[in-house]
Amino acid sequence: MDQVTLARALFGSSMAFHIIFATLGVGVPLMIAAAETLFQIKKDKDYETMAKRWTKGFAVLLGVAIPSGTIVGTMLTLLWPGFMEIVGQVIALPFQIEIFAFFLEALFMSIYVYAADRLSPGMRILSVTLVALGASASAVLITDAQAWMNTPQGFRYDNGVVTDVHPWQAFFNPSFFVTAGHVLVSAYMTGAFAIASIGAYQLLRGRHSERVFAYHRKGLFLGLAIGGIMSLLTALNGHETAQMLHKHQPEKLAASEGLFHTTAYAPLVVFGTPDPEVGEVVGGIKLPWMLSFLATNRFDGVVKGLYDYPREDWPPLYVHTLFNLMVGIGTLLIGYALLAVLYRYIRKRPFPRWLLLLFLTGGPLAMIGIETGWIFSCSARQPWTIYHIQRTSEAAIKSGNLGMLFVLFLSIYAVLLVLTVLVLTFYFRRHPVSAVLDKTT
């Protein structure tokens, strides 16, 4: 494995681990805020119990997200010195502001955990809402750097020298709002479906009192309701993303759809394998004209193909599979939410066991969607670290001995993951929801 590939693998594995906790760290606070608000409106103690228990779980996840995020920041400096040389001069602003977002989250998290019982209903909702706001702001600010890598602006780069820097112009780069919106709604979706999966699992166990069953049914439907709304918003944001890619990263759009020839009335191709020798996706299902519509809002819109660009500038063609996985999972999760609405409000029947088994897969599927989406976003920008400005080979570390670091950090992530599961399992087994509900009755 060459040095650049090894550096990408090491950083990618670090991000793959961190993104789990970072995503839940954004999605779960929204669920806590929703449960707290429902408690104050409906005065149903079950929702208060949900908010408190989910907060305990969130605190554990946050305890892993912070050190893993620190490791990712260290790796940026260690593995990509050429990239950080430009970042430090141009796009440091969101990282600086993110400190205040984290401060907001940590401050009101402490207030909510330790003083909720002494706060008025309005202040309780405000404090937990500010926790969610701080978590969301952190995600948006960190994502801004990723957006800037895809659509860099706010500086000039001539002969390896950065000049004419405009930090706010770099901050509000062309893909900022679309990318930040996608990260937020997909994180909210993932947090909601993770909660729904826990509810489905508890209902499938079938060893609870009716009181506990009622509690888990409420948690399950709350997760499905918010997850369904966010999955629909994610799909709508996908349309905006396609238009952004068409305008600013046409190679990325072409690779994601396996489009080789510049085409009007371009089809959207689902599944299959892009074959550059044949010049099309082999074995795919074509949806006529749909890619042109997604990219241009016109069925006759012209979409550029990969043959318009040098072969060395093509993204890897496996991003077509990643894109299909991401979109397919999002579509499936929308279907889960629609099934929940059908059974609850139209058929007015309890969820059958087969449907609970489907809901159980919602959280893991959402997380796989997050992972594939992140890999897609970074891989489809290749061979560039900063699009059309700095190649990945120019940004990477030049010294060797990364193999030992790769093994070391993978071992650390494995230990952290096992410890997280053990701590969460131990805590919630020692503090079962049945004991809490008995105290509130």
358 domain-assigned? yes
Burial class (CB in 10 A: 0-12, 13-18, 19+), 90: buried
298 domain-assigned? no
Contact at 8 Å (CB) between 105 and 138?
yes
Q: What is the dihedral of CA 243, 245, 251, 254, to 10 degrees?
A: -40
Give residue 438's pLDDT.
Answer: 65
192 domain-assigned? yes
Residue 390's DSSP bridge partners are: 386
Give residue 1's pLDDT.
Answer: 60
What token pair was written down for 193? 């479906």
288 domain-assigned? no
268 domain-assigned? no
Domain count, the chain: 1
- Give the containing element (helix H, strand E) for 292: helix 290-296
Give residue 222's pLDDT.
Answer: 94
Contact at 8 Å (CB) between 288 and 264?
no
Q: For residue 209, how many other CB atoms are within 10 A of its CB?
A: 11
Residue type for position 268: L
Give residue 284's pLDDT.
Answer: 85
CA–CA dist 101, 109 (Å, integer): 12
Contact at 8 Å (CB) between 35 and 424?
no
Full pLDDT tens readout for the chain, 441 residues: 678 888 888 888 888 888 999 999 999 999 999 999 999 898 888 898 899 899 988 888 888 888 888 888 888 888 888 888 898 889 989 988 988 998 888 888 888 888 778 888 888 889 999 999 999 999 999 999 999 999 999 999 888 888 899 999 999 999 999 999 999 999 999 999 999 999 999 999 877 778 888 888 999 999 999 999 999 999 888 888 889 999 999 999 999 999 999 999 999 988 989 988 888 888 888 889 999 998 898 898 999 999 999 999 999 999 999 999 999 999 999 999 999 988 888 877 788 899 999 999 999 999 999 999 999 989 999 999 999 999 998 888 877 677 777 888 888 888 888 988 899 888 888 888 877 776 665
CA–CA dist 350, 172 (Å, integer): 48
CA–CA dist 367, 369 (Å, integer): 5
Q: What is the dihedral of CA 263, 266, 269, 274, to 10 degrees?
A: 0
How far apart, in Å, do the first and last CA atoms of the chain sit? Answer: 61
278 domain-assigned? no
The residue segments making up the domain with residue 367 are 3-262+304-440
CA–CA dist 260, 304 (Å, integer): 8
Q: For residue 148, how many other CB atoms are within 10 A of its CB?
A: 26
328 domain-assigned? yes
What token pair was written down for 108? 């009101």
214 domain-assigned? yes
29: preceding bond cis by omega (within 30 degrees): no
